[in-house]
Structure 1
């Protein structure tokens, strides 16, 4: 099944409001495009899904904060996997770092609902594991080292005290 970039726009509902079903559609299209080895379409689809996920995080539907954060994480992970498949582990590292940093920032943002902050902490474990796996498969990367250290400092407070 061949898709064209215009097909992604054709599936967009009349409303421009982000929704989990809209994210699911974008993600499904991207996965199908990647499976069909249409990497340009897959890249466009994953980036669209990621943009929708970011908008969902800005104003998550009631009771769906965890689902919106899962969408954000899955979007980042799939995009990073595609970047690796394209032979660009550096771009993948950047994508993974952005995911981890976004979750760390959300988890300490006192202006956000507690449910979103707690979900960000839970999902941060997934991005942390993805960063460690990336190092295991592709070697050390300075962006990853910094993202992990910055998140740790943000979550645990920067302190010179040794434990």
Structure 2
């Protein structure tokens, strides 16, 4: 966790100073660390938060570079990852519950992006699939989606 934090702090510093190429490299390193350690982190909430922060920082960076298509890809990727984590019975309940808690934040971020920048094919597909899965879960009584958003 400490290595991830230091990497994010370096990236944030570069971002603030307008050194966007360096910021991107550090954000990508932080994302790689968060993904590799996702299921191994001692604290499930920290693991999920690190993944979310890494994705959202990259999304913000690409918006600053006027690359909304890249930005929405990162927003969709993390939201989809959390939805998959919530459904994966092989993962610990703590990790699945942390993903559920964070999924409301990633959903709101995605909706905010769409309201400001419009829809993109991936965001449209992800949101339609989320609605369909939620409807199916509710109609079959398998409500692990109910209340997620």
State whether residues 104 and 154 of structure 1, in contact with CA within 8 Å, keep that contact through their aligned partners in structure 2.
Answer: no
Aligned-pair CA distance for 1:156 = 5.3
How much is the aligned-residue C-alpha RMSD, in angstroms?
1.8
State whether residues 7 and 30 of structure 2, in contact with CA within 8 Å, keep that contact through their aligned partners in structure 1.
Answer: yes
Matched, 1:73 2:52: yes
1:12 corresponding residue in structure 2: none
Aligned-pair CA distance for 1:139 = 1.0
Mapping for residues 42-121 of structure 1, pairs under 5 Å:
42-61=23-42, 64-121=43-100
TM-score by length of 2: 0.87
SS of the aligned residue for 1:112 comes to coil
1: CA distance between counterparts of 2:35 and 2:134? Answer: 21
SS of the aligned residue for 1:58 comes to coil
Mapping for residues 1-163 of structure 1, pairs under 5 Å:
20-61=1-42, 64-154=43-133, 157=136
Aligned-pair CA distance for 1:54 = 0.5
For residues 82-124 of structure 1, the C-alpha deviation after alignment (integer angstroms, 9 at most, x for no partner) is 0000010000001100000000000000000101001101111
Aligned-pair CA distance for 1:60 = 2.0
Based on CA coordinates, which of the two structures has the bigger radius of gyration? 1
- List, as ranges, runs of 4+ consecutive aligned residues in structure 1 with deviation greater than 3 Å: 151-161
State whether residues 39 and 47 of structure 2, in contact with CA within 8 Å, keep that contact through their aligned partners in structure 1.
Answer: no
For residues 41-87 of structure 1, the C-alpha deviation after alignment (integer angstroms, 9 at most, x for no partner) is 000011111111111213222xx000110010011111100000001
Alignment length (residue pairs): 140
SS of the aligned residue for 2:81 comes to helix
Consecutive unaligned residues in structure 2, runs of 5 or more:
141-149
Consecutive unaligned residues in structure 1, runs of 5 or more:
1-19
Compared CA separation, residues 155 and 71, structure 1 to 2 (3 A): farther
TM-score by length of 1: 0.80
Aligned-pair CA distance for 1:152 = 3.9
